[in-house]
């Protein structure tokens, strides 16, 4: 393919050279003379018009370019605003994590960690202003969850997803952990402990 192109290009150059000498008069009359006349006329026109007119035209062109650039910038900003994602709230985040629990222990731990912090806030409000650490046991007045719910909240608040083994093989069944407890039971217990209080910041 490259050889064919080279041969074609060489043929065009040879033909052009062969035609250049016989057609030099025609090229001069058809191309050179009109181009020289056009340049002479433009130079004459430039010199005949006052310089203030040319400066005014140049300024007008600059202003038009600036106006168009500012308009396009505004359009880009508007499009960026339209494409920006809406703010996702805590409930939406929690719902998204629940949908991803089948992907592994990490999303299960995220939910348990959030609910463990909710349990911590409930018990903190019952202390009447006294301080409480995240590492303190989740115990307090009228706090009597099932042992499985208690283990779930403790594991989420004080543990980490790295504490639990991952699946060794793609199709192997993962080992059972406290984070596998039904989230619905945990939510029902936390709701029973809050009543009308708001604990989610």
Residues 28 and 116 in one domain: no
User: How far is 118 from 199, CA to CA, in rounded Å?
Assistant: 7
What share of the chain has pLDDT > 90, as a percent? Answer: 0
Residue 39 in any domain: the answer is: yes
The rounded distance, in Å, linking the Cα atoms of 24 and 28 is 6
- Nearest CA to 98 out of 194, 184, 164, 192 is that of 184
pTM value? Answer: 0.48
pLDDT in tens, 11-35: 888 887 777 667 677 767 777 778 8
Query: Looking at the structure, do residues 108 and 173 belong to the same domain, yes or no?
Result: yes
66/150 same-domain check: no
- CA gap 110, 108 in Å, rounded: 5
Give the pLDDT confidence score for residue 102 in this predicted structure.
67
pLDDT averaged over every residue in the chain = 76
Q: Does 182 lie in the same domain as 115?
A: yes
DSSP state of 162: G
Q: Are residues 141 and 176 in the same domain?
A: yes
Compute the residue count for the chain.
201
Domain that holds residue 61: 50-84
- Asked, for residue 199, whether it belongs to a domain, the answer is no
76 and 14 in one domain? no
Q: Is 40 within a domain?
A: yes
66 and 154 inside one domain: no
| Domain total of the chain | 3
Question: Is residue 112 within 8 Å of residue 155, measured between CB atoms?
Answer: yes
């Amino acid at each position: 393919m490259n050889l064919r192109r080279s041969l074609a290009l060489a043929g065009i150059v040879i033909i052009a050279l062969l035609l250049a000498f016989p057609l030099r008069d025609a090229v001069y009359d058809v191309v050179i003379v009109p181009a020289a006349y056009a340049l002479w006329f433009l130079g004459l026109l430039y010199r005949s018009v006052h310089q203030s007119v040319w400066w005014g035209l140049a300024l007008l062109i600059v202003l038009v370019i600036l106006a168009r650039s500012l308009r396009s910038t505004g359009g880009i900003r508007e499009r960026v605003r339209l494409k920006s994602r809406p703010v996702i709230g805590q409930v939406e985040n929690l719902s998204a994590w629940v949908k991803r629990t089948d992907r592994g222990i990490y999303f299960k731990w995220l939910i348990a960690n959030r609910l463990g912090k909710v349990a911590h806030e409930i018990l903190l409000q019952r202390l009447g202003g006294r301080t409480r650490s995240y590492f303190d046991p989740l115990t307090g007045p009228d706090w009597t969850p099932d042992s499985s719910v208690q283990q779930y909240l403790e594991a989420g608040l004080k543990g980490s997803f790295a504490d639990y083994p991952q699946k060794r093989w793609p199709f192997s069944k993962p080992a059972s952990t406290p984070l596998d407890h039904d989230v619905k039971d945990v939510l029902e217990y936390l709701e029973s402990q809050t009543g009308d209080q708001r604990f989610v910041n």
